[in-house]
Structure 1
């Protein structure tokens, strides 16, 4: 009993010490925050900018010209930085945008019953040999051996792994199906000629979903469900996509569709019928007769960037790994499968390619790394007195518009002119840029607001700014 009392006293002393420390030692957040409190200051951001094109080419280890707009812009403003051929450091702004994209993807996948998993990047050669894809994929697989001589690849896709996982569950019932299992993870592909920045690299982020159904009819319904979720995703992002008939390629199966963003630098050739709903990747058509197979009208051709791909697999993989469930009669049946990919980093780059001007990045509204950039007057200028008004507005926005917490950036580089900072803000593509200029010193104060995605410039009071920003949607 005495020992227990002593232990209680020791714990009480430790708790008292911790409480005292919590009162006297600032938290990590406060310790790392700027002196002005929790304001996000641009001067503290790791954001290299304003690289000339020759510097960009030097970083890429190339000569000539960068023909891809998204690659050039992302390198110039410091969204990415080359690491190895086809591999990039994703810098803070890009990571923020990607995390937002993943949240939107999670919302869409989980709305249709998706369950998130995380599978190893290292995949055993034994699994890939079981489906013959160890040889079929050829040099595209990044292969390695461990110290015991066992062979692996860095997974470009996970059909084998997920099917083996489901097959290991020996007591599945038809009542539990369908399963819609997905992950967002790094993928690897030994591209012979990496190019276009994040559009075609050796290492990239992907969302891959694998579905397991109890019948072909149910699997077809799931296929339509996921395709509709993809359409919802791209509509939410405001991206002009087209769903096209596609080749099953090395993944296999009996039906496949690609989700493409039409753009002139795209590597895929698309045939689209202007008279009906038919569209296809040209590689699936007989090029000797470019007429629509549905209405016989002429097909128009364009280029596109593939950002999503869906496959109906049937029992191609479940039959190899014996992924079974007990049907309504209690007998074992093979699961009917589908797989569905979204190129996460590719969507980011493709969106910049499609939406941006030659000189300025434009983001889908939901994915902008920061929604608002505030620009106070230059130090020593006639308008310097409006600096406090800008800081006060910054704090008021965060309090009055809760969804914008963590989304408002103050460009405190007041040694630069407003014009120079506005140019940087335009290039980085903040949806809203708010400037405290001459009219901020009037009564009432009016701020110059640049609405980047609508190309509008308006002058608003503090209350007007809050009203405008209250409608901003974030994820």
Structure 2
């Protein structure tokens, strides 16, 4: 076993597997992964601070670490999950004609004053001045910035529309009481898209396209999100929908038709509405975590910045706009909140930091004497050759001083979708591996070929 572990080399940095002289992928060792496990503790919470399942599990699992009120370090496994989620979002945004860009986090105060939001948002904005006394805010959203960008294109033609521009960036909001970990923080990741169209009809088409892409996204993630009618708030516009993930910890109160005909945030309703306006069924109450929000803006911002295009008659017309947000870091936490058990993380399979955890025999055990570790490595090599997209999705729990049972329990808590164990079955002929399908809650006993066939169904972004 010692000789075998000597051939399993950890990566120097980042999360890509190193390669040996023959070009074969090398293991990522759990002992070398920067993920400080504190699986028995309650987490780094202050006295009396409210907590929720996702916050507690993410702290215990070494996925996040507090960096100040409402701010967190995202540790390597969490960043892997975040980047995978962004990859899935990119696919959906490209499918509706989205073009990705990046805008500055520093937003000039005069832009926000022109739209009226400098005063309206009040203390929610992080405000600062440069050495010349010029005012800025750290952008919680970028309607003003993107509209100014498009307005600077002074010869924009109707032929170039629709424009659907989006970014994935850090956003900032001075929450008075940040809580629940990544569900309500002061610094967070958001995907924000902005559409520019030639008419109100075309803009509503863009709106509907993006809303449909959000529904597809949450379906792919296996999250039971519901689109509800919502208030337009400080962003403005005439139509708005929130994408809500039902959860007890949710801060929004929802009313839902049991047949799906009606859904609304209660803050949009006047008076007491108890039945569905379409089918008459009694509405059910739920709480939800807002993970997405869409707005039809009309010309609210294009009129302020004079964002115009030239019509077929060569006349300037104001662009009709929409904006569409997804809380990227909030989706991560919300998915853990609703999919996990009280003591074990469950990820949407598509974005789990690592798809596979391999557990070799305990040091000095009969399974080690029967070359169980070598058999596990052979399985990994066969897997990397047959399914190369999974080669970088595997982590080896090399803490062989611990029992297989202890390491399997830790793997269950950390939420690897599949755990492959070189247990008692490797002493059989032919050798059999114990494979835990965490999300299905079942254990299988498979040969090398059976393991490869099972894992061939695993999808990665």
- Offset of residue 93 of structure 1: 0.6
Measure, in 2, the Cα distance between the counterparts of 1:51 and 1:64.
21
Instruction: Determine the structure 2 residue equivalent to 1:23.
Output: none
Q: Does structure 2 retain, via aligned residues, the 8 Å contact 1:39–1:395?
A: no
Inter-CA distance 388–117: structure 2 relative to 1 (3 Å threshold):
same
Q: Does structure 1 retain, via aligned residues, the 8 Å contact 2:17–2:26?
A: no
Which of 222, 227, 237 is equivalent to 1:238? 222
Deviates further, 38-47 or 111-120: 38-47
Instruction: Determine the structure 1 residue equivalent to 2:403.
Output: 417
Which of 266, 291, 315 is equivalent to 1:282? 266
Inter-CA distance 380–309: structure 2 relative to 1 (3 Å threshold):
same
- 1:447 matches 2:438: no
Deviations 1:125-162 (A, max 9, x none): 00000011000000000000111111000000000000
Deviations 1:397-429 (A, max 9, x none): 111112202101111111111011101100111
Paired residues, number: 445
Equivalences for 1:143-292 in 2 at 5 Å? 143-292=127-276
Deviations 1:212-270 (A, max 9, x none): 00000000101000000000100010101100000000000000000000011000000
Compare the two structures and name the one with the higher helix fraction: 1
Which of 285, 293, 298 is equivalent to 2:277? 293
- Offset of residue 303 of structure 1: 0.2
Q: TM-score, normalised by structure 1?
A: 0.91
Q: Does structure 1 retain, via aligned residues, the 8 Å contact 2:244–2:291?
A: yes
Question: Which structure: larger Rg?
Answer: 1
Measure, in 2, the Cα distance between the counterparts of 1:433 and 1:327.
59
Q: Does structure 2 retain, via aligned residues, the 8 Å contact 1:47–1:91?
A: yes
Structure 1: give runs of 5+ residues left out of the alignment: 1-26
Q: Does structure 1 retain, via aligned residues, the 8 Å contact 2:379–2:448?
A: yes
Inter-CA distance 66–50: structure 2 relative to 1 (3 Å threshold):
farther
Q: Does structure 1 retain, via aligned residues, the 8 Å contact 2:25–2:384?
A: no
SS at the partner of 1:383? Answer: helix
Instruction: Determine the structure 1 residue equivalent to 2:32.
Output: 44
Q: Does structure 2 retain, via aligned residues, the 8 Å contact 1:259–1:306?
A: yes
Equivalences for 1:27-66 in 2 at 5 Å? 33=18, 38-54=26-42, 56=43, 59-60=44-45, 62-64=46-48, 66=50
- Offset of residue 287 of structure 1: 3.5
Q: Does structure 2 retain, via aligned residues, the 8 Å contact 1:432–1:452?
A: yes
Inter-CA distance 28–297: structure 2 relative to 1 (3 Å threshold):
closer
Structure 2: give runs of 5+ residues left out of the alignment: 1-10
Q: TM-score, normalised by structure 2?
A: 0.94
- Offset of residue 32 of structure 1: 9.1
Inter-CA distance 28–303: structure 2 relative to 1 (3 Å threshold):
closer
Q: Does structure 1 retain, via aligned residues, the 8 Å contact 2:25–2:391?
A: no
Measure, in 2, the Cα distance between the counterparts of 1:37 and 1:289.
60
- Offset of residue 37 of structure 1: 6.5
Instruction: Determine the structure 2 residue equivalent to 1:9.
Output: none
